[in-house]
Amino acid sequence: MTKREVKKADLPALIKAYSESAMIQGQATESSDYKTGNKASELISVIYSELRHRGIDSQRALIPLLGDSDPGVRLWAASHAMEFSPTDGEPVLKSLITVGRFLGLCAKTTLEEWKKGRLSFP
Average pLDDT, the chain: 96
Domain-embedded: residue 100:
yes
Cα–Cα dist 65/27, whole Å: 16
Domain-embedded: residue 92:
yes
Domain-embedded: residue 121:
no
Q: Which domain holds residue 58?
A: 3-115
Which helix (H) or strand (E) covers residue 17, if one does? Answer: helix 11-30
Q: What angle do CA 84, 85, 90 make, to 5 degrees?
A: 125
Number of neighbouring beta carbons within 10 Å of residue 41:
18
Length of the chain: 122
Domain-embedded: residue 83:
yes
Domain-embedded: residue 68:
yes
The pLDDT score that the predictor gives to residue 80 is: 98
Number of domains observed in the structure of the chain:
1
Q: What digits encode the pLDDT tens for the residues 37-75?
A: 999 999 999 999 999 999 999 999 999 999 999 999 999
Average pLDDT rounded to a whole number, residues 73-96: 97
Helix axes 11-30, 103-115, angle to 10 degrees: 110
Residues 6 or more apart in contact with residue 86 via CB below 8 angstroms? 114
| Biggest CA pair distance of the chain | 38
The pLDDT score that the predictor gives to residue 100 is: 79
CATH, residue 52: 1.25.40.70
Domain-embedded: residue 120:
no
